[in-house]
Amino acid sequence: MTDLSAFPITKKWPAEHPDRIQLYSLPTPNGVKVSIMLEETGLPYEPHLVRFDTNDQMTPEFLSLSPNNKIPAIIDPNGPDGKPLPLFESGAILLYLADKSGQLIPQNAAGRYEAIQWVMFQMGGIGPMFGQVGFFHKFAGKEYEDKRPRDRYIGEAKRLLGVLDRQLEGRDWILGDAYSVADIATFPWVRNLIGFYEAGDLVGIQDFSNVTRVLAAFVARPAVAKGLDIPKRPS
Ligand SMILES: N[C@@H](CCC(=O)N[C@@H](CS)C(=O)NCC(=O)O)C(=O)O
């Protein structure tokens, strides 16, 4: 029987199935990347809900695994050399799970780096910039009198959507024919920008027809539909 008691996070979120990958998350655009990846690969896992309304992400137990106080984070009880592996940062987790499962990342070196490149593009560009659009358009930043920060992030979001749209021209997915971790990293954020942030018109989403086409194919995948709702939010 696997013993995860050395990880303080398991005191607050006990593992019912310690032999499965433990996922600590909430269905946000960064959180669902990992639940979608786990659903797509079929790796057994146990989800745990980290609630922001009760500041779970600031508790010592959560910080012991994710010192940047952000979801998602995982513990793989059966990591490299058979030892438990704790991981935070969604991009690192996606790449780890792709390697572990041998799925959703090209197996040749050049293809592998191409996938990593687009995961990095999402992590360093799309996620942070779209997140700022949300802050300045929908949340507290909406009240700021000075609209220059808002306009700056909208401009950046449009520019990034243009880069993605050109990459998707004539392709089914970011890497071409093969669906990959790059799509799983990216499309939850595009969906969120249009849906939850209600910024579709603001960024002129209709001008990016390749992006909307691939987004529709992404959300139609059964594993995506499932992963988008894991862990379940309290009703
Ligand atoms: N670069 C991180 C970002 C994660 C992130 O921003 N998570 C947000 C939810 S989408 C969070 O946990 N926020 C809680 C907080 O800031 O207190 C990743 O991709 O894992």
Mean pLDDT of each 10-residue bin along the chain, 235 residues long: 93 98 98 99 98 97 98 98 97 98 98 98 98 97 97 98 99 98 99 98 98 98 98 89
Alpha helices in the chain (DSSP H): 9-12, 29-41, 60-63, 90-101, 109-121, 127-137, 148-168, 181-194, 209-219, 222-227
Evaluate: CB of 35 within 6 angstroms of ligand 1.
no
Tell me the whole-structure pTM to 2 decimals.
0.98
Percent helix / strand / coil, the chain, rounded to 5: 55, 10, 35
Q: pLDDT at position 117, please?
A: 98
**Residue 54 burial (C-beta neighbours within 10 Å; 0-12, 13-18, 19+):** exposed
Q: pLDDT at position 235, please?
A: 78
Order across the sheet with 21-25: list the strands.
45-49, 21-25, 73-76, 85-88
Determine which residue's CA is closest to atom 8 belonging to ligand 1.
70
Q: Which residues in the chain are classed under CATH 1.20.1050.10?
A: 109-221
Q: pLDDT at position 123, please?
A: 98
Distance in Å, CA 97 to ligand 1 centroid: 19
Q: Which residues in the chain are classed under CATH 3.40.30.10?
A: 9-103
Evaluate: CB of 90 within 6 angstroms of ligand 1.
yes
**Residue 64 burial (C-beta neighbours within 10 Å; 0-12, 13-18, 19+):** middle
Please tell me the distance from the alpha carbon of residue 143 to that of residue 43, in angstroms, as a whole number. 44
Q: For domain 109-221, give the CATH number.
A: 1.20.1050.10
Q: Hey, what CATH topology would domain 9-103 get?
A: Glutaredoxin (3.40.30)
